[in-house]
Structure 1
Amino acid sequence: MKKQQKTYILLIAVLFIWGAIGYQIYSRLNPPTPELNLTQVQSTFQKQKVVTQTHYEIKEEYRDPFLGKFPKKKKIIKRKKVNPKSKVIIPFPNVVYNGLVEGNKTKSYILTVNRKQEILKKGETHQGVKLISATKNEAVVQFQKQRKTIVKQ
């Protein structure tokens, strides 16, 4: 055999081997789809009614796994409803600030409550009117949780 004939035979053998390898790869990547025989099955399925379930309930008395204690029960505080008509509303008394009297280290203030003049210090009460604070020109008084600022006359 000549050299050229051997080359052609080897070329054909190489092409045949590479063709077989290519066919193996192609057949693995694209497998043939199997044919399925469809059989008809008669079902005896009956639809059941849907039953709604209640939500999960958590028990109130459980032991806390981290603290190892039972939780404290919440105290329910019932507040009394106050009828606004039942309260007797007393009007703010007539208060006049007359001025201040200074002593050695103390300051006293002159207030006229319902036409009765009285000398008061801060925090003192006269006829239900409490002197909260005062300056030369004005005084702050409180009567039944109501505060008023009174200017000197």
Structure 2
Amino acid sequence: MKNKSVRYILIFLVVLVWGTIAYKLFSYVNSDEDEIVSQNIPKQKNEQNTVSDTFQLASNYRDPFLGKGNNSNNQNGNPNNQKVIKIVKQKEIPKVEKTIINWPKFSYQGIITNQKSKNQTGLLKINGKDFIIYQGNVINEVEINKLFNDSVIVKYAGELKTIFKIK
């Protein structure tokens, strides 16, 4: 009996909270009052005369990269405004032609996981021949990198390729 009374009180409180939220939402959406926004906003002008502050930077501090002080020829601390630009010719990078790799025809049949030892065994068809594969196994110069339920990642001639299971 105690649990039922607590349940009814909690249901009443939930309905009260959601009812308040719904009331505020509908009263905001269906409000008849139009808010008037004034377009004439008075601009405040600063009537005080401002005097600009003049200063000079003393840039004779130590260079953090070279560990030396600034060797500026100017005595007043202003560095020269001249920039020295060195033009460096870029070396032409020889274009490496990518060799075309003739991949064998793959067909991934699926995977079986041993429940006791958790070893994964897959079935892969390479050029029409069925092979039982394991992770790290090498068959016909094809290395098996990773086995998944729906795909297998193989490495052939230094390139990785993902073979998906035929559905």
Normalising by the smaller structure, the TM-score range is 0.3 to 0.5
Higher gyration radius (CA): 1
